[in-house]
Each structure stands twice: as structure tokens, then as C-alpha cells.
Chain A
Amino acid sequence: MSAAIEIEGLVKRYEDLTAVDRVSLAVEEGDFFGFLGPNGAGKTTTINAVVGLASFQEGSIRLFGYDVVREWRQARALVGLAPQEYNFDRYLSIRDILIYQGGYYGLRGPALRRRADELLERFGLAQKANVFYTRLSGGMKRRLTLARALIHQPRLLILDEPTAGVDVELRLELWDFVRELNRSGTTIFLTTHYLEEAEALCRNIAIIERGRIAARESTRDLIGNRSLQDVFLELIKR
């Protein structure tokens, strides 16, 4: 079985700045993987390279065995991205946001509409199906981000700060949902600044600092009898 993500020697430079410096990382299929690091460490740049939003100068990225540069169609079809920011199409209703996103992945017809309605129901957005996203609360927008990422039933779900700015109740609800999703076989790649979130959810964790991988271990081995926060602070202060 291919790894869900295989990154080898990834280098991303912006003129004089090396944002990602020879990063190598493998995430097994079915894993719940945490990718942590301080602001500006290279997390989002790495994610952008994985999903095709950033080019890179050196290295390779394979998703389920597909090279993201040469076999980008196959690779992208297997990934769902829930970005941190709300980047919804303001001309579409909530339901249409899901249906059109499915269309971009080549889906259509009654099956797509059913899938959109299921997700709206699952995320408590059915009552808002016909409104524009600007009418949603912050928590609803966060749920819509997740629903949109799942419309094409990706095998890998990338969550970039999925619980940023949401209240405790919704955070726990989202935790339950992604756990359930992971149990059903979806690989989860999570970035978060909430270390307790990573500690509670992730089986394996990598910490990136100044563009380089500072640690990559199982959560249990990484923290031992300490807290993730202590380990994290120690690693990034080196």
C-alpha cells in the first residue's frame, strides 16, 4: 500500500528566503497526522506544495503513489483541503458552493446533489442551504469549509487550523467528526496551533521549524511523560 503522503527533499525558495528546506516526510494511509510549527515555520508552504497551490524548486511529493507534478490530476482528485481562511465563492448559495466544487472534481447529477444535501445535513447547514455564505456565523463557515473539502470523498483530508476561532462546543464537535472520518479510513493531515488538539487527535506528529523537520515521531513517543507544549517549546527554541 502506498503512503498517503510521501515528501522527499522538498525545497521551496522565495527569492532569498528558503521557506522549506529539504523536508522529507511520509504519512501512512489511514493515519491521523499532526504537522505543527510556529508561525512562518513552513507549514502552509508545505501544504500549498502538496495541494498544488505552490510550485517548488527541488524534491518530490507523491500522494497515494501519484506524483503531484506529473500526475496532478490523479493526485488532486484524492485530496480535500479545508483552508484556514474562508475563501468561498460569494456568488453561490451554500448548497451551490458544494455542488459547484463537486463539479470541479468531475462529479455531476443526482448523486452529487444527494452528497451535497447529506453534507449540509451532517454539518447542520441544511436550513441555510439557499443563503449566501456571508449570512453564516463563524462556526457555520468553519463547518462549510469542512463540508466543501469532503464533497468529492477524498482519501486524504488536509485541515489547516480547522478550529481556529470557534467555540469549545463546536471544536469538540469537529474533533468527533474528524475522528469518525479517520476511523472510516480517511487519512487526516492536521495543522493547528492548539497543541492540546494535536495531542488529543493525532497518532503521529511532525514539528517543522525554520523550514526543517525538527521532530517526527508517534505522539506517544514524542511527548513521553511530558506535555506536547513542553516538547514543542523545547524543540523550537533549539
Chain B
Amino acid sequence: MIGAGAFTLENPVALWTLIKREMKRTWVVINQVIWPPIITTVLYVFVFGLALGSRIGNTQGVPYAAFLIPGLIMLQVIDSAYGETGSSVFQGRFLNHIQELLIAPMSALEIVLGFVLAGIARSFLIAGLITVLGLALVHTGPRDWLLYALVVSMVAVLFTSIGIVFGLMAEKFDHIAIFTTFVITPLVFVGGVFTSIRFLPPLVQQVSLFNPMFYMIDAFRYSFTGRSDVSLVLSLGIVGSLSAVAFAAALTMTAAGYKLRV
């Protein structure tokens, strides 16, 4: 049952406090949240971008290493947005400190927004650091910062919301990893991080069009290269719609007290 006022926004201090709390958690576990995606990206850039990439030639009109950077940013943003939020929500339930939020005068909207806005901030931090790496190592950066910010924000909303949903549903930490292992990683890897779908066999190209990750990566890459495999409007429409659905799901579950209130 969803109570009255679950979707109201009247306690901005609480919302800000939750955002700060999530960022504090990120800082405390920085070796788990921030450095691994950066180090992994450096390795990808050296091995695939600079070593193998020099033999591949141009992709979408840019050197392969420059083509790779936006895909790697998406890979890490998606992974972090989902994983960190899912862990934080589940840990809050597991250790019961989420009760601090539940007994306070905070609405479901304020709680969900707190996690999502913190997820966006964390995503920009990771995306920004990898972008700096791209500028330093491959001399490539975004041409369209507005589109860059829009896609990072939408993808962060989508995957922090999914993180909340799985953080609420999970019965053990292992359950958080299921979505990463069986959904995120395979779909991201075949979604265009390492190659344009134009290089894939026709049948696989058709299948890729059902992969939502492809649209995220394609739209984001457009902010770097100015080129995309499908219409930018279509990609933004799909990512925006998925983000809205995921946010609504996280909000509804939180408002209903799913596995939060007995």
C-alpha cells in the first residue's frame, strides 16, 4: 500500500543529507568504487586502444583508440551506477541502517531521489576522470558537452534506479551480482563498446538493435565523434523512456515499502 504524500518533496535538507551520505560512502570505499574503473580503463586503452588499435585503423572516422573511449566511459558508468546503488540499498537493509531513513520525515520520492542524484554525481566523477584520461592518452574528448552530460545523466538515472530495485529485491549480496554478471556485462560488451555494429554480421546487427546498451553507447559516442550507427533521437528516446520506467519502478517499490516496511 502506498501512503499519502509518498511522492512529495518537502524535506530538501534530508534529500541533501542522503546525497552527502552516499558520496561519503563512495569516499570511504574509494578503492572499490573510483579507482578500479579508472585502472581498468587505462588497461583497456593500452591493450585494445593503443596496442591492437594501431592495427585496426579508423572506426567511425576516428582512430580506434578515440572510438573506444566513449564506450569505456559508458561501461564504467553503467557498472558503477548499478553496482554501488544496489550494494548501498541492500547493505542498508541487511544492516538495518536504512531504518534511519524510514523513521525520519522523508518521503519515498526524497529517498529514491537521494540515491539517484548521488548516483548521477558518482557517474559524472567516473566519467570525468576517464574523459581526462582520454584527453591525456588518446587526445580525444567530447565535442558536444551538453549531449555528454545528458547521456551520462540518463544512464545514471536508469542504472541507479535498477540498482535500487535489485537492492530491494535481493536476499543476499550474491543477488546484486546476478544482474551485473548475466545482464549488464554481456549486453555492454556486445552493445558497441569495442566495435561499431556495422562491423558485425547482418543477423547480429539486427539482434543488437534489441540491446538497450547499444543505444546508450551509440548516443554517448555521438558526443565525441559526431557520428552514430542509428538516429540520435531514437537512441535518446529509448534511453530516456527506459530511465523513466526504471525510476518509476524504484519509486513505486520504495513507496510501497517493498521489503522495507513489514
- Chain A residues packing against B (C-beta within 8 Å): 14, 45, 48, 51-55, 69-70, 72-74, 76-77, 79, 81, 83, 85, 87-92, 96, 100-101, 103-108, 148
Neighbouring A residues of B136 by C-beta, 8 Å: none
Within 8 A of A (CB), among B84-113: 95-97, 99-107
8 closest A-B pairs (Cβ-Cβ)?
A103-B17, A87-B96, A104-B104, A73-B105, A91-B25, A89-B97, A76-B105, A106-B13
A54 CB, min distance to chain B CBs, angstroms? 5
Q: Which of B17, B106, B261 contacts A53 (CB 8 A)?
A: B261
User: Least Cβ distance of B112 to chain A in Å?
Assistant: 15
Shortest Cβ gap from B87 to chain A (Å): 11
The answer to whether B101 touches A54, judged by C-beta atoms less than 8 angstroms apart, is no
Contact A92 B21, beta carbon cutoff 8 Å: yes
**A55 touching B24, Cβ below 8 Å:** no
Name the interface residues of B221-236: CB closer than 8 Å to any CB of A.
none
A69 and B24 contact, Cβ closer than 8 Å, known pairs A87-B95, A89-B100: no
Contact across chains for A105 and B96 when beta carbons are under 8 A apart = no
Chain A residue numbers with a CB within 8 Å of B100 are 87, 89, 100-101, 104, 148
| 20 further interface pairs, Cβ-Cβ under 8 Å (given A85-B96, A89-B100) | A45-B262, A51-B103, A53-B99, A55-B257, A72-B105, A73-B5, A73-B10, A73-B11, A74-B105, A87-B100, A96-B24, A103-B13, A103-B16, A104-B17, A104-B100, A104-B101, A105-B14, A105-B105, A106-B13, A106-B105
Q: For B27, give the chain A residue with the smallest CB separation.
A: A91
| B20 interface residue per 8 A CB criterion | yes
**How big is chain B's contact interface, by range?**
20 to 34
Return 30 A-B CB contacts under 8 Å, by A number: A14-B262, A52-B103, A53-B261, A54-B261, A55-B1, A55-B257, A69-B3, A73-B5, A73-B10, A73-B11, A76-B103, A79-B103, A81-B103, A83-B99, A87-B96, A87-B99, A90-B95, A91-B21, A91-B29, A100-B20, A101-B100, A103-B14, A103-B17, A104-B18, A104-B100, A104-B105, A106-B11, A106-B105, A107-B13, A148-B100
Residues in chain A near residue B4, CB distance under 8 A = 69-70, 72
Contact B11 A52 (CB under 8 A): no
Q: How would residues 99 to 136 of chain B score, 1 for a CB under 8 Å from any chain A CB and 0 otherwise?
A: 11111111100000000000000000000000000000
Beta-carbon nearest neighbor of A69 in chain B: B3
Q: Residue B183 at the A interface, CB < 8 A?
A: no
B28 close to A (CB within 8 Å): yes
A69–B96 CA distance with the chains assembled, in angstroms: 22
> Which residue of chain A is the closest to B111 with respect to CB atoms?
A104
> A53–B103 contact, CB under 8 A?
yes
Give the CA-CA distance A73 to B104 in the complex, in Å: 8
Give B12-48 as 1s and 0s: 1 = Cβ < 8 Å from A's Cβ atoms. Answer: 0110111011001100110000000000000000000
Output the residue of A45, A69, A81, A100 with the most chain B CB within 10 A: A100
Q: How far is the CA of A5 from the CA of B17 in the complex (A)?
A: 29
Centre residue among B14, B100, B257 by max chain A CB count within 10 A: B100
Contacts of A81 in B (CB 8 A): 103
Cα-based distance from A70 to B96 in the complex (angstroms) = 25
Which residue on A lies nearest to B114, using beta carbons?
A: A104
Residues of B within 8 A of A45 (CB): 262
User: In whole angstroms, what is the CA distance A103 to B28 when docked?
Assistant: 20
Q: Which of A54, A81, A85, A106 has the most CB of B within 10 A?
A: A106
The docked-state distance in angstroms from the alpha carbon of A55 to that of B13 is 26
The proximity string for B residues 181-208 relative to A, scoring 1 for CB distances below 8 Å and 0 otherwise, is 0000000000000000000000000000
Chain B, residue nearest A50 (CB): B103
Q: Which residues in B have their C-beta under 8 angstroms from that of A101?
A: 100, 104
CB nearest to B104 among chain A residues? A104
- Please report the C-alpha to C-alpha distance between residue A92 and residue B25 in the assembled complex, in whole angstroms: 8
Interface 0/1 of B243-262, CB less than 8 Å to A: 00000000000000100011
Tell whether, in the assembled complex, residue B105 and residue A108 are in contact, meaning their CB atoms are under 8 Å apart: no
A81 to B96, CA, bound (A): 13
Tell me the complex Cα distance, A45–B11, Å. 27
- Min CB gap B21→A, angstroms: 5
A193 to chain B, nearest CB (A): 20
- The answer to whether residues A52 and B261 also contact, given A69-B4, A83-B99, A96-B24 and a CB cut-off of 8 A, is yes
CB distance from B217 to the nearest CB of A (A): 32
